[in-house]
Amino acid sequence: MDHAATRHLELARIRRFDGFGGLSPGDGYLFEPTSLHELRSVVLLAEELDVPITLRGSGKSYGDASSPLESVTISLARMNRVLAWDKETGVIEAEGGATLEAIWQYVLQDGWWFNVVSGTMKPTLAGAVSTNIHGKNNITHGTFAEHVEMLEIMLANGEVRQLTPSQPEFWAVHGGLGLLGIVTKVRFRLKKISSGNVRVVQRRVHSWAQQFEMFEKFDDADYSVSWVNGFTNGAGVFQAAWHSESSEPETLDLRHQKIEGKLAGLIHRDTAWKHLRRITNRPGMKLASALKSNAARISEGAPKVMSLVQYNFPLDYLPNWQQAYVPNGLLQFQAIVPAQAAEGIFNNLAQRWRSAKLEPYLVVLKKHRPDETWLRYLDHGFSLALDFRQTPRNAPALNHLYMEMADVVLNAGGRFYFAKDGLLSPEQAKRSLGEAAIARFTALRDEWDPKRRFKTQLSCRIGLDECVQYARP
């Protein structure tokens, strides 16, 4: 072959990037531009060398949504400034690399909070847009996209565009999995609060039917979620929460929101995952799940007051908790199913994972409404997010179970959230997203990125891109 000398990427830029679950590693050449000008240079360099670009936020997607394929891997970690903040209207504008953590720390003292936020505060705004995050109030507040007033995107040719909700492409970029361009700026609305606390009510439930009843019964709650015990068929602890309506300015102080350093006054939170690792196995998690239900029995009566940070960001409560799953990995499955079919589907799924003795160690149930994005993943119904521990020994059976469960969901008209998935096949992805949606999205990519500069392992795996170099694990 011809090895004529041409420019190539600096090898020292290579880094290993993985999904949050630790099962989707890929190597890429890391670039961290500090300005639009530098960013454009990186994009044009990738064009010149004909190398794909993968966009990397905080790496909190569980699967391969931001895993590179020897790509120019762009992180906006150094384009993270708040550009404008109006504390009268609650509208903030920030660069794409600003994290949700930086935003709440900026606005809380002025009495504002997110309309929609994920279970971790670590995502960047660009990541929040690209995966169109949702939270425990999806049924009342929708997804992140519904609160964005303007976003700025750099396309594959270096051109910068601003998009507003009146433009159809705005709804393609939201939830567009970072395949249309680089979100460099986001302007969005926050909601007014008078307290930094929420009032939380817990109820023990014993079946899927009871779970759904709870969501009906507490439909006035600001937030609702249920923590299902994966070792049972639908039992768990339902939680509803309301923003505190009284004026409590002292709770808006950042110090009030600080998550305390030690668990039970003994174990430092930063190293708690090492202890968690000892019980991240079937007997340990079975016991922990039972203890959680019993603890809820005690606290069922009185409402509990929690800080906004503690309530909204449970995934940050134990830093690096996913490390408890290494050297193996965390495989997450999040399916959204139509309300009328939910009980039957969840029954079916639970029976499958229980008979395979592959129970998920964490199961989260939420209620949803459809989103308006082109690659829509939500619907009227319920979602079930399952955390499985993958080991070399159980991987074949677990992957088989995952695919079987995916087919059960898809046969019932369900959908999948690709920020969580790491395994679906192109055919399953097509059924989840719908052929018309994929065709519309592809047509926009043909227009904005005809050479398919923006690629990820996910886009290759689910057949949105053809990637000769992608080796499916």
List residues binding other proteins (CB under 8 A). Answer: 1, 3, 5-6, 8-9, 11-16, 25-27, 51, 69-70, 467-471, 473
In the complex, minimum distance from the CB of residue 51 to other proteins, in angstroms, rounded to a whole number: 7
Distance of CA 10 to the CA centre of its chain: 31
68/142 with CB nearer other proteins: 68
Going by C-beta distance under 8 Å and a sequence separation of 6 or more, which residues neighbour residue 182? 39, 43, 55, 74, 76, 96, 126, 153, 154
31/361 with CB nearer other proteins: 31
414 φ, ψ (degrees, to nearest 5)? -80, 175
In the complex, minimum distance from the CB of residue 395 to other proteins, in angstroms, rounded to a whole number: 11
In DSSP terms, 262 is beta-bridged to: 268
2/88 with CB nearer other proteins: 2
Token representation of residue 312: 């909204």
Token representation of residue 119: 């279970």
What Cα–Cα distance (Å) separates residue 31 from each residue in 71, 179, 452?
Answer: 10, 17, 19
In the complex, minimum distance from the CB of residue 46 to other proteins, in angstroms, rounded to a whole number: 12
Catalogue the E-assigned strands of 155-258.
160-163, 182-192, 197-205, 223-228, 236-243
In the complex, minimum distance from the CB of residue 64 to other proteins, in angstroms, rounded to a whole number: 13
In the complex, minimum distance from the CB of residue 35 to other proteins, in angstroms, rounded to a whole number: 24
In the Cβ-directed half-sphere of 33, how many Cα atoms lie within 13 Å?
A: 20
In the complex, minimum distance from the CB of residue 449 to other proteins, in angstroms, rounded to a whole number: 19
164/469 with CB nearer other proteins: 469
Going by C-beta distance under 8 Å and a sequence separation of 6 or more, which residues neighbour residue 11? none
Give the burial string for 243-265 (b: 16+ CB within 10 Å, else e): bbeeebeebbeeebbeeeeeeee
18/213 with CB nearer other proteins: 18
29/377 with CB nearer other proteins: 29
With tokens 């895993």, the residue in question is 67
In the complex, minimum distance from the CB of residue 11 to other proteins, in angstroms, rounded to a whole number: 5
63/175 with CB nearer other proteins: 63
